[in-house]
Amino acid sequence: MTAKTSSTTMHIGELAERTGLSLRTIRHYDEVGLLPATARTDGGFRVYSEDDFERLMVIKQMKPLGFSLEEMAEILAILSPEEETRASAKAQAKLSGFLEKAVIQRAKMARNLAQADELIERLSATG
């Protein structure tokens, strides 16, 4: 079994428990290349590192903001500690665009939550 960078490893079940995501979701992110397992046991089971956990938490944060799998992959590549071009003008411009999209999506979510709060208040007042 080989590991990328972290000495602490976990199986997919522990990763799912720590992140609150389903095994199916984590397997899907592995299959589409967003979260490849750090290693596999001799029996073929996925093994993940703390770095993988952190990567999955970023994916989990991007998901409700409506980023596509391709956009997620780009963001993860730019944020990767190994990314040599992270400071490049092109990477910074991409990051700026993603930040703008995240801010806009968050504002929409906040408006939707406010509307939900208003409905809950209205329903509570009539009961």
- CATH class name, domain 9-126: mainly alpha
First CA to last CA across the chain, in angstroms?
A: 60
Q: Spell out the per-residue pLDDT of the chain, length 127, in tens.
A: 443 444 689 999 999 999 999 999 999 999 999 999 888 888 988 999 999 999 999 999 999 999 999 999 999 999 887 656 566 888 889 999 999 999 999 999 999 999 999 999 999 998 6
Dmax (CA) of the chain: 62
| Residue bearing tokens 């329903």 | 123
Beta bridge partners of 39: 47
Residues in the chain: 127
| pLDDT attached to residue 20 | 96
Q: Are 63 and 21 in contact (CB under 8 A)?
A: no
Instruction: Summarize pLDDT for 56-68 with one digit per residue, the tens.
Output: 999 999 999 999 9
CA nearest neighbour of 30 among 63, 56, 49: 56
| pLDDT attached to residue 7 | 61
pTM greater than 0.75: yes
The one-letter amino acid code at 18 reads: R
| pLDDT attached to residue 90 | 87
State the angle between helix axes of 23-31 and 12-19 in degrees (0 to 180), rounded to the nearest 10: 110
| pLDDT attached to residue 127 | 66
Q: Are 53 and 37 in contact (CB under 8 A)?
A: no
